[in-house]
Structure 1
Amino acid sequence: MGGKKKRITSKIDELPEDIRIKVDFLLADTKNSYEDISQFLKEQGYMVSKSSVGRYALRSNTALQRLMEAQVQTNKLVEAIREKPDADYTEAAIMLTMNGLVNRMATAEEEFDSMPLDKAGRLIASLSRTKVYKDRVRQEMRKKADIAFGEMEAEMMKVIKEDPESVAHLKTILQKAKERMMQDD
């Protein structure tokens, strides 16, 4: 079937069903190490390394983990949007995408031959450029805010120059507004 990916199978996938179910049961108990499970399989007459057990565990748990992680991340993002609807969520989107890429690369040991690493590299570079651009824009916004607040303060000072108490009070108000505007969300 041209164009379709070949399903990954391992030695554990080829075990008799009752042994494979036992392996799944052993993996579910976090007290068992991959070495323990490999030793169990050797005792049953199957030579399976702890690395193979680890790769099988990653593959068998990947779909469920991705679903659960996506649900948790989505819930957190929705909650954050409710709390601060005007905030910039670019950073969160970048982190979610980067997390997905890193997970893809970490679990793709057997797919590296067919996986287009140059494409993954270009995507990582693109995300890095996006972060640099975002940081540059934020820095430019801070400079513009400093200039705007300085000019605003000068203009207001001209108006209230006669009242020193008002001048001090206005400076305090402007400083608080400036600090609030410059806070990272």
Structure 2
Amino acid sequence: MTEKVRKPRSDSKMYQLPKDVLDQVNDMLLNENMKYSDIQYWLETEHNMKISLSSISNYAVKIYQAAQRISDDLERTKFFVDYIGDKSELDASKATTAILKSGLLQKIATAEEEFNEMPVEKAGRLLVELNRSEIARERLELDYKKKTELAFEELETRMYKLIKGYPELREKLVEVLKEAKQKWLEQQEELK
């Protein structure tokens, strides 16, 4: 089996720069008055490094895209935090799963070169694991619902035995239990 040789990234020279030099380049990229040719000239004259304009340009595009993704993720996270804060009854695990799923799907959709470096199987496994945790949570909810319904039935049976000789009290109890069960079911639907 022959190993596939990867073509070097067009901006790979940028990542080979010393950290302090790369930090200065990043600062220059933030300066709207600075052109890529100015950065190229600075690297060549100050640090004796020849880097093409396309390498600088490709690096800048990736930096801007990464900054935009981080900004978008922060905005999305802030929205979820604000939303959860307004709804204290909201299940935090649902919100956390939604955030993770959204971030993973966003990464898969926009990763381009990063996605090429991440094996598809790994991305798929991560998505499958998130789906499994969601299914497990749904099973827990269903189990909780069944147990609660059994508890209601047990309560009804016991109460009926206690008030067997009082028909009008029994009718009132049936109404109260039906109302309580209906309210509980409505609350469960609202939480979904």
* TM-score of the two chains, using structure 1 as the length reference: 0.61
Give the alignment partner of residue 75 of structure 1, picking from 69, 82, 90. Answer: 82
Moved over 3 A (4+): 6-9, 54-60
CA gap of 1:69–1:88, structure 2 versus 1, over 3 A, is closer
5+ residue gaps, structure 1, are: 1-5, 19-53
* Residues 18-33 of structure 1: pairs in structure 2 closer than 5 A: none
Give the alignment partner of residue 132 of structure 2, picking from 121, 129, 132. Answer: 129
Give the alignment partner of residue 170 of structure 2, picking from 145, 156, 167. Answer: 167
Identity among equivalent pairs (%):
29
Tell me, yes or no, if the aligned pair for 1:161 and 1:167 is still in contact at 8 Å.
yes
Match of 1:89?
A: 92
Q: Which amino acid aligns with 1:132?
A: I
* TM-score of the two chains, using structure 2 as the length reference: 0.59
| Between 93-102 and 57-66, the greater mean CA deviation after superposition | 57-66
Secondary structure in 2 aligned to 1:113? Answer: helix
Secondary structure in 2 aligned to 1:162? Answer: coil
- For 1:178 and 1:7, the matched residues in 2 are separated by 62
Tell me, yes or no, if the aligned pair for 2:164 and 2:170 is still in contact at 8 Å.
yes
> Which structure shows the higher helix fraction?
2
Secondary structure in 1 aligned to 2:91? Answer: coil
- RMSD of aligned C-alpha atoms? 3.0
Offset of residue 59 of structure 1 = 4.7
- For 1:88 and 1:112, the matched residues in 2 are separated by 32
Q: Highest Rg: 1 or 2? A: 2
* Residues 29-178 of structure 1: pairs in structure 2 closer than 5 A: 59=66, 61-80=68-87, 83-84=88-89, 87-178=90-181
Tell me, yes or no, if the aligned pair for 2:163 and 2:169 is still in contact at 8 Å.
yes
Is 1:17 equivalent to 2:35 in the alignment? yes
